[in-house]
Amino acid sequence: MKCPIETRESAEVLLAYCARKLDAARTGILEEHIRICPVCREFADAQRAVWEALDAWEAAPVSADFDRRLYRRIENEVGWLDLLLRPLRPWVARNALPIAAAVAVVLTAGVLLDRPAAAPPAPEESAQVESLQPEQVEKALDDMQVVREFHRLVRPDPGAPLM
């Protein structure tokens, strides 16, 4: 027979043989080949060693209070940052959406306000530029109003501490 190591399909037959999942006829043919082929013999020996190790391996019994001890250990090893932030968690969860919205508004405003400076207009377009500027100022004021509205929603009481 052709050496099974050389093709993928035949290699799977060899693996099936090692896992003792091959029928008697094919097992006989393969054993005959393994006797004369050092490569397949080495492969089969290695596989056999793995299977024997797996057969011999027994998982240690789990103690009755394993779960309790595991959870207590997890509880004890919670990081200091987590402990510091724990009191803020409900506040952050409640305000996550407004915070994300405010960040988006501030970023958008920053991009819009930054754009004119990045591309200075040519002198002959100055009339058009002048007509655009009030709109940009109005847009910026609108954005600032949104941010102010956000602050009012996040901190309804102006006297309350920041966090």
Q: Which residues bind Zn ion (CB under 5 A)?
A: 3, 37, 39-40
Cβ proximity to Zn ion: between 39 and 103 the closer is 39
Q: Which amino acid is at 16?
A: A
Cβ proximity to Zn ion: between 14 and 102 the closer is 14
Strands (E), the chain: none
Smallest gap, in angstroms, from Cβ of residue 45 to Zn ion? Answer: 13
Q: Which two tokens stand for residue 55?
A: 């057969």
Cβ proximity to Zn ion: between 40 and 102 the closer is 40
Planar angle of CA 61, 67, 73, nearest 5 degrees: 115
Count the residues in the chain. 163
Smallest gap, in angstroms, from Cβ of residue 60 to Zn ion? Answer: 39
Smallest gap, in angstroms, from Cβ of residue 16 to Zn ion? Answer: 15
Smallest gap, in angstroms, from Cβ of residue 40 to Zn ion? Answer: 3
Smallest gap, in angstroms, from Cβ of residue 54 to Zn ion? Answer: 24
Cβ proximity to Zn ion: between 11 and 154 the closer is 11
Write the CB contacts of 100 (distance below 8 Å, at least 6 apart in sequence): none
Spatial CA neighbour of 50 closest among 75, 92, 20? 20
Spatial CA neighbour of 47 closest among 79, 95, 12? 12
Strands (E), 10-88: none
Cβ proximity to Zn ion: between 37 and 154 the closer is 37
